[in-house]
């Protein structure tokens, strides 16, 4: 399901948060996202939606691109220094430390 990338226009942020929280209420506990979705926007929405129940769910995310000033993906990047920046950014956007 695309909320901010890949399947038409982005879903309204509040609607996306409501949808994700409804999924949790129905027993969904695994959520997958990536920094490239949006870019970054999907991680922010998932983080906001799941913050109240973070200890009850698993969040997976992915990284691997360097983005230009226009947020267009530029090149693949798995250098150690980029991995650290990507992980720190994802944790911040997802509002979690694990």
Q: Where are the domains of the chain?
A: 13-94
7-16, 17-26, 88-97, range with the lowest pLDDT? 7-16
> Residue 1: pLDDT band by 50, 70, 90 thresholds?
low
Q: Please, how many CA atoms are within 13 Å of residue 73, restricted to the half-sphere of its CB? A: 13
- Percent of the chain clearing pLDDT 70 (strictly above): 95
Using 50, 70 and 90 to split pLDDT, how confident is the model at 58?
A: very high
Give 67-84 as a DSSP string. Answer: E-TTS-EEEE---HHHHH
Examine the pLDDT at 89 and tell me if it is beyond 90: yes
**So which residues are the catalytic ones?**
37
Note whether 29 and 21 are within 8 A (CB). Answer: no
């Amino acid at each position: 399901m695309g909320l901010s990338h890949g399947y038409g226009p982005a879903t309204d942020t509040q609607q996306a948060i409501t949808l994700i929280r409804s999924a949790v209420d129905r027993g969904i506990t695994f959520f997958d996202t990536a920094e490239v979705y949006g870019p970054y926007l999907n991680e922010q929405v998932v983080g906001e939606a799941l913050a109240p129940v973070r200890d009850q769910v698993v969040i997976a995310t992915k990284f691997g691109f360097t983005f230009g000033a226009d947020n267009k993906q530029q090149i693949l990047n798995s250098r150690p220094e980029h991995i650290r920046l990507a992980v720190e950014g994802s944790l911040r956007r997802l509002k979690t430390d694990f």
